Amino acid sequence: MSENTTPVQAFSDIAVIGGGMVGRSLALLLVKSLPSASVSLIDATPAPATPDDEGFDRRVTAISQGSVAILARLGVWPQLERAAASIHEVQVSDRGHSGWTHYDAQEDPLGELGFVVENTVIGETLYRACTEQDALRQWQGTKVTALDIQEGGAVLHLDTAGGTREHLKAGLVVIADGAQSELARTLGIGFERHDYRQTAWVANVQHSEPHQGCAYERFTEAGPLALLPMNDFERRHRSALVWTRSSDLPLDDSDDALLEALQTQFGWRLGQFNALGKRSHYPLSLLLAREQVRRHVVLMGNSAHFLHPVAGQGFNLALRDADVLVQTLSQAAQNAQPFGSLDVLERYLSRRKTDQWLTTNLSHTFIQWFTSEHTARRATRNGALGLMNALPSLRRRFFRQMMGQGQHG
């Protein structure tokens, strides 16, 4: 902890660093739930790209019903819902084996299992909602270059969009700067890391048959793949593909070669795959911060836990974290406790431990088991899928946790 006195130009009760989906959702929750607190949001990127820009990112996020409830409280769900495709059913299968299970909306107490929304729509909607909040001070295009933890708060060193250097002091700093958080590292916070030696290949695919609202998780010898239903585009049927493949594979396969491989591995449930959108590749690791809270500091989103994407959990888990953090801070405010007190932040973390542990371990174990070609593991996983088909209560529990409808804290 540094006790030097850096000249401070501004003070906020809470400063959120990072204007990704998590940082912005949290900033909105804070201004809506803590109207008397001053909140700042600092983001290094300029204003988000609009959907008409070149390089339009058509990556999508599967949003659980629990997240819908939070986004509705933020006032952004009506806009997102207009662009959302519903998930009525999830099918999990193992290529070349009999193991298969599924879960559909009729079995779930909440009805629809979730929704799929394009990331640019989420990003832009959250951005607009933030700009409408007078109570939220935004520093767009501003990078936090260092953090000094002092008595009474943390001082943020800012490189602003205008090229000036400024300092902001905050009673609580939320670090939501993404995976491999540089700022957490500068505080000496380390990460547990599991390298999956896999790369996620992400693209939209067009197919000849409608998806009927079905999301697929299919485990193949070429790696697990997820296909999430998207709304039709100019009457063409689309799904979002996340295919996790060995990092040893070259990334320059032609679109035709990839479509052919996909057809072979996935089969013909969606008819013929006939076009592929812009492709992106993400090397995959599980990264878990060894400390999520310190006096005046809390890590949130990918900086706290970066999960394998095939289960589609990162954003949903982070929204549940954000919701419980804001509830805990509201209680602290009622008890006249400072937001940055370690007691308060540890109370938040203890409420989140079980859900974080379950979500992280379920998706990690799921990937480990389903990427293994070891004969015993293959037999066990096929047995487990069969068992789930036979035991609806087990199936319901499994899918509800997988769909981010587990414990909330």
Ligand X SMILES: Cc1cc2nc3c(=O)[nH]c(=O)nc-3n(C[C@H](O)[C@H](O)[C@H](O)COP(=O)(O)OP(=O)(O)OC[C@H]3O[C@@H](n4cnc5c(N)ncnc54)[C@H](O)[C@@H]3O)c2cc1C
Binding site for ligand X (CB under 6 A): 17-23, 42-45, 61-62, 143-144, 176-178, 183, 200, 202, 242, 282, 301-302, 309, 312-316, 318
The torsion angles phi and psi of 32, rounded to 5 degrees, stand at -80, -35
Dmax (CA) for the chain in angstroms is 66
CB of 378 to ligand X, least distance (A): 26
Q: Which is nearer to ligand X, 332 or 360 (CB)?
A: 360
Task: Quickly tell me which residue has 């990937």 as its tokens.
Answer: 367
Q: Which is nearer to ligand X, 173 or 332 (CB)?
A: 173
Task: Quickly tell me which residue has 């559909």 as its tokens.
Answer: 104
Buried b (16+ CB within 10 A) or exposed e, 118-152: bbbbbbbbbbebbeebeebbbbbbbbbeebbbbee
C-alpha pair distances (Å), 343 with each of 183, 246, 252, 261, 348: 22, 43, 51, 53, 9
Task: Give residue number: closest CB to ligand X.
Answer: 20
Q: Which is nearer to ligand X, 178 or 338 (CB)?
A: 178
CB of 26 to ligand X, least distance (A): 9
Q: Which is nearer to ligand X, 310 or 332 (CB)?
A: 310
CB of 164 to ligand X, least distance (A): 15
Q: Which is nearer to ligand X, 303 or 328 (CB)?
A: 303
CB count within 10 Å of CB 95 equals 16
CB of 97 to ligand X, least distance (A): 25
Asked if residues 55 and 209 have their Cβ atoms less than 8 Å apart, the reply is: no
Question: For the chain, how far is it from start to end, CA to CA, in angstroms?
Answer: 31
CB of 180 to ligand X, least distance (A): 9
CB of 132 to ligand X, least distance (A): 19
- DSSP codes joined into one string, 273-304: EEEE---EEEEEEEEEES-SEETTEEE-GGGT
Q: Which is nearer to ligand X, 59 or 381 (CB)?
A: 59
Q: Which is nearer to ligand X, 32 or 143 (CB)?
A: 143
Looking at this protein, which amino acid is placed at residue 391? L
CB of 20 to ligand X, least distance (A): 2
